[in-house]
Structure 1
Amino acid sequence: MSGKTVFDIFVVGGGINGCGIARDASGRGYSVALAEMNDFASGTSSGATKLIHGGLRYLEHYEFRLVREALMEREVLWAMAPHVIWPLRFVLPFQKGGIRPAWLIRLGLFLYDHLGGRKLLPATKTLDMRRDPASKPLKPIFTKAFEYSDGWVDDARMVVLNARDAADRGATILSRYKVTSARRENGLWQVTVRSNDSRETRTFSARMLVNAAGPWVDQVLAGAVGKNNVHNVRLVQGSHIIVRKKFSDPRAYFFQNPDNRIIFAIPYEGEFTLIGTTDRDYRDDPKDVKISDEEVSYLCNAASEYFQEPVRPEDIVWSYSAVRPLYDDGASKAQEATRDYVLKVETDGGVPLLNVFGGKLTTYRRLAEHALEKISEAIGARGGPWTAGSSLPGGDFAVTAVTKQVQALRASYPFISTVYAERLIRCYGTRAPMVLGKAKSEAELGRLFGGTLYEAEVRYLMEFEWARTAEDILWRRTKQGLFLSREEAAGLEDYLAREAVL
């Protein structure tokens, strides 16, 4: 392939934007190659608060276009991927004399309900916290709360499903290949990539380059492309902590802090609560990002202002941190910088380059459509928009039919538990039987590494989802890292190392 095939598009970056663009373009008939220097979703795309949401707080910054687009996308994405996206109700406790008056919150929620797109998600309502079960884990200082709808997403799975679908539609998808050089030669891009183990270097020719490298977008421009004085993105760090379950209510909480920032407390993987996020400027290399002691204290203190039972650093069972690459609009505070995306085309020498700045999980599909408009203008149109009515791999069932899918899987594989069946449907949807294969008993699933992670699933992830390391599998593909001991995780790593040699 190297040196022979001329691709229409070469995409740099395997986060949600890069994989979304590759999928959309492949579905329209463009020839596409994509390179991700690490694992898919290993950067920003797996470091979010895992919400498909309109962005209620963005209304305060007058980002009405972004909020409206995001609100309209919630149910579109839910229909595309009901296995990895599902609705979630949020409780926003209100206290007199708080940061935002009740009328302002009501106005924001009215706009949230009516800006567009809500058909199946229930509307906002007011709660009497003297009677509602949502008050149980909270301090007894709230008499009123507002409840509204948004959605939850398994972010890393949504990314890899976009990559999988792009590959199924003909795209060449490379994980763990870094773009080391991208130069315009003879009317084409010549893109050189090197494998992480440095054993292989390949060169691809393409009519157009798409730089969707997220926090590394400026590094790609300065390094691989060779541009000078590059500064387009403002890096903002967001960190999250996971603690043992703080409440049994299926709803999430939206907490307002005295500094005007907000955090969420969200039911997570059945037995845990996710608390986040922080917002602070970040100036180091994105690959080195990790939660700071200051952020840990901030999240613990902020949550403890609301929960009767304090959240302490020693309660944390896992944490994660990522850098959001916001388009640098000159905002004075990190939390005020625009969350909207910006697409810019450069045509130096007549060979087009599309740079993708910003974006968020909820709007990735629309970002991809807008990117394809610019691609069509630059190198010629192929098929029209198609993703709105599509399904991501495994998501070809009704949003109300998750329970039916679980029951059907258990009927076909009666030896698996309901808990395991639910997890498989939430990860793989209608592709869950591909994971279990022809197994007629638990023993035929192979080695149990811990939690509900069997060898059959590990092999599926290696074959179909580019998984190579224990981190790929435990923290991005399955979240089973929360349920395996350190020794069990090491056993999985040893198994993968042996498989790589074979």
Structure 2
Amino acid sequence: MTEQFDLLVVGGGINGASIARDAAGRGLSVCLCERDDLAAHTSSASTKLIHGGLRYLEQFEFALVGKALAEREVMLKTAPHIIWPLRFVLPHQSHLRPAWMIRLGLFLYDHLGGGRRTLPGSRRVSLRKHVAGPALRDEFHTGFVYSDAWVQDARLVVLNAMDARDRGATILTHTRCISARRDGDGWNAQLQSSKGESTSVRARALVNATGPWAVQFLDQVASVGHDHTLRLVKGSHIVVPRLFEHDHAYIFQQPDRRIVFAIPYEHDFTLIGTTDVDYHADPAAPHIDGVETRYLCEAANRYFKRNITPADVVWNYSGVRPLLEDEEDNASEVSRDYLLELDTHGAPLLNVFGGKLTTARKLAEEALDRLSPLLPVTSAAWTAKGHPLPGGERHDIDGYQRELQQAHPWLPPALAWRLAHSYGTRSAQILGKARNLDELGPCFGADLYQAEVDYLREQEWAIDTTDVLWRRSKLGLQVGDDDVARLKAYLEQADLAKAEACMS
């Protein structure tokens, strides 16, 4: 039996999930398939920022920066539980960039994209008086402070997929599109699950949102001609024990004119990144190398009093960014803008090249605006109006956290904070009618209880320990090997029970 849809989206990263959400909200029947977990690759390997990209001003990418800054305002309203404001400190080094250039850049940053509406503006500060100063080497006297926002990147993808599902979309994780062929006025596609189960799908239109595999998908799956080349760039990050006590982040200029961030991370750690290295291996398995690790350590050591070495790194991750080839010699100079290519030589095919977390909603809106004349949409563009992602109904997330604590006084404050800032109002579904911690079920280390794991399995497509500990959360930084083993055994048992129930 062949399942019928208006739109088949291949790829479960931020672009694919955002497009599926927008399309479902316009009344289309949508199927999204992802060969791995949602956000399994590039979308969970970012620097975790919703930002305009201050450094892109030097490359005269004013349109890209303005678009991203306008989107920053929309995103803060859409998912206040997983996106929140963050102040950045830029220590000044006059031999790298003169003060007037930084002031001009920050003035533009404050006003591009319609100007700031919710975040404080930039200003010059004395690092001898500012809270961010003591952690820095004594040679830094002056700095500049500006605003951007932090995001739980993988959760942003999952929440877009959840909202798409809540609006009627079918979301198939661990399901590969093994072939797609035009047939008259539609596409016939064969999907295959990781368990070998096959599904036939027919769709009016197809979206190729496969990220680093976008060209490979055209060549090997859809057999569609094209003239595009993607430049794959690896970005790596390291995580070390906390290097400072305050809640500001740092942006550090490097002698090679690159930018490196140092960001408060999961309360007890500091995230440092990123690198930009041309990449030619398998996009599914990028790894940081020794050169990158040393580069990031040295980048931090140029500024912090406390020096770090590769031995201090407690975790690292790498992702592959699919950028449009533009003949730049330096990978960090390649544009981060995106291209949407609509192929109407037969049934519609929309190819998505490039993109970033911050502009994914806008990308999806533009994608559906282009597809809408070809599909039976029943509603106009809608996502810019601030419709919240699941759990984001309360803008005052700190106030919601206090209410959550009052309603469940037995909740440890750290757990109440994490639930509110991960699930927002959906925390109520996790806690249910529990009257104490014991009623949340066994603890799998840190503050991860069975009730949360069950919610992630049932509502957020989590299957294995990596899904739970590294994408839906970052609790992998806090749990031990025994905890992971117990969680793995529980997930396998739950999966077996579910399979037996389906067979009975």
Report the TM-score range of the alignment, normalised by the length of the smaller protein.
over 0.9
Counterpart mapping for 1:297-446 below 5 A: 297-348=294-345, 350-379=346-375, 381-388=377-384, 389-398=386-395, 401-446=396-441
**Alignment identity in percent?**
52
How high is the TM-score relative to the length of structure 1?
Answer: 0.97
User: Which residue of structure 1 lines up, in the alignment, with residue 142 of structure 2?
Assistant: 144
Find the counterpart in structure 2 of residue 218 from structure 1.
215
Deviations 1:414-451 (A, max 9, x none): 11111100000011001101011111111110010000
Q: Match of 2:502?
A: none
Are 1:194 and 1:201, in contact at CA under 8 Å, matched by a contact in 2? Answer: yes
CA contact (8 A) 1:95 1:141 kept: no
Distance in 1 between residues matched to 2:249 and 2:171, nearest whole Å: 36
Offset at 1:117?
Answer: 3.8
- Tell me the secondary structure at the aligned position of residue 453 of structure 1: coil
- Structure-2 separation of matches of 1:206 and 1:308: 58
Q: For residue 435 of structure 1, what is the amino acid of its counterpart?
A: I
Question: In 2, are the aligned partners of 1:218 and 1:230 still within 8 Å (CA)?
Answer: no
Determine which of 440, 444, 447 is the counterpart of 1:449. Answer: 444
The one-character-per-residue Cα deviations of 1:89-113 (angstroms, maximum 9, x if unpaired) are 000000232x111111111000000
Equivalent position amino acid for 2:400 in 1? Q
User: Which residue number in structure 1 is paired with residue 235 of structure 2?
Assistant: 238
Given that 1:406 and 1:418 are in contact with CA atoms closer than 8 Å, whether structure 2 keeps it comes out as: no
Which residue is 1:153 aligned to? 151
Q: Secondary structure at the match of 1:37?
A: coil
Matches within 5 A, 1:32-51: 32-51=30-49
Deviations 1:22-46 (A, max 9, x none): 0000001011000000000011101
Q: Match for residue 67 of structure 2? A: 69
Alignment match, 1:269: 266
AA partner of residue 162 (structure 1)? N
Q: Which amino acid aligns with 1:129?
A: L
Match among 81, 99, 104 for residue 101 of structure 2: 104
Q: Distance between the aligned counterparts of 2:164 and 2:290, measured in 1?
A: 40
Whether contact under 8 Å (1:341, 1:357) holds in the other structure is yes
Larger deviation, residues 482-491 vs 440-449: 482-491
Q: What's the CA shift for 1:6?
A: 2.2
Q: Is the 8 A contact 2:27 2:377 kept in 1?
A: no
Q: Secondary structure at the match of 1:362?
A: coil
Equivalent residue number for residue 456 of structure 2: 461
1:124 to 122, 125, 136: 122
C-alpha separation between the residues in 2 aligned to 1:234 and 1:264?
23
Distance 1:172 1:197 in 2: 18
Deviation of the 1:493 alpha carbon: 1.1
Deviation at 1:121, TM superposition (A): 0.1
SS in 2 for 1:210: strand
CA drift at 1:378: 3.1
Corresponding residue for 1:25? Answer: 23
* Code of the aligned partner of 1:327: L
Residues 1-56 of structure 1 show CA distances to partners (whole Å, capped at 9, x for unaligned) of x41x4211100000000000000000010110000000000111010000000100
What is the distance in 2 between the residues matched to 1:469 and 1:209?
Answer: 29
Partner Cα separation in structure 2 for residue 172 and residue 255 of structure 1 = 43
1:279 deviation in Å? 0.4
Shift of 1:228: 5.3
In structure 2, distance between residues paired with 1:487 and 1:75: 42
Query: Aligned partners of 2:362 and 2:115: how far apart in 1?
Result: 14
- SS of 2:117's partner is coil
Give the residue type in structure 1 aligned to 2:80: P
3-state SS, counterpart of residue 158 of structure 1: helix
CA–CA separation in structure 1 for the residues paired with 2:405 and 2:117:
31
* Corresponding position: 1:293 with 2:290: yes
Shift of the 247–411 alpha-carbon distance from structure 1 to 2, 3 Å rule, reads: same
Q: Is the 8 A contact 2:28 2:377 kept in 1?
A: no
Q: Deviations over 1:60-117 (max 9, x none)?
A: 11111110011111121011100000000000000232x1111111110000001124
Unaligned runs of 5+ in 1: none
Kept after mapping to 2: 8 A contact 1:243/1:317: yes
Are residue 59 (structure 1) and residue 54 (structure 2) matched? no
Root-mean-square deviation (CA, aligned residues, Å) is 1.1
- Secondary structure at 1:457's aligned position in 2? helix
Deviation at 1:230, TM superposition (A): 6.1
Q: Distance in 1 between matches of 2:228 and 2:67?
A: 27
Q: Distance in 2 between matches of 1:162 and 1:287?
A: 22
Letter in 2 for 1:177: T
Counterpart residue type for residue 501 of structure 1: L
Partners of 1:251 and 1:238 lie apart in 2 by 23
Q: Work out whether residues 95 and 143 of structure 1, in 8 Å CA contact, stay in contact via their aligned partners in 2.
A: no
Q: Is residue 90 from structure 1 mapped to residue 88 from structure 2 by the alignment?
A: yes
SS at match of 2:314: strand
Please say if residues 222 and 230 of structure 1, whose CA atoms lie closer than 8 Å, have aligned partners that are also in contact.
no
CA contact (8 A) 2:184 2:347 kept: no
Residue 9 of structure 1 aligns to a residue whose secondary structure is strand
- TM-superposed CA distance for 1:380, in Å, is 5.1
CA distance in 1, matches of 2:130, 2:276: 31
1-side partners of 2:115 and 2:39: how far apart? Answer: 27
Letter in 2 for 1:63: E
Unaligned runs of 5+ in 2: 498-504
The alpha-carbon deviation at position 331 of structure 1 amounts to 1.8
2:392 is paired with a residue of what secondary structure?
coil
Q: CA–CA distance in 2 between the matches of 1:444 and 1:230?
A: 58
Distance 1:295 1:486 in 2: 27
Cα distance in 2 for partners of 1:293, 1:113 equals 37
- CA–CA distance in structure 1, aligned partners of residues 58 and 183 of structure 2: 47
Count of aligned residue pairs for this structure pair? 495
How far apart in 1 are the matches of 2:450 and 2:16?
30
Q: Given that residues 75 and 117 in structure 1 are in contact (C-alpha distance below 8 angstroms), is that contact kept between their aligned partners in structure 2?
A: no
Contact 2:250 2:263 in 1 (8 A): yes
Q: How do residues 464-479 of structure 1 correspond to structure 2 at under 5 angstroms?
A: 464-479=459-474
Q: Distance in 2 between matches of 1:382 and 1:409?
A: 38
* Preserved contact between residue 232 and residue 357 of structure 1 (Cα < 8 Å): no
Write the distance in 1 (CA, Å) between the matches of 2:443 and 2:388.
31
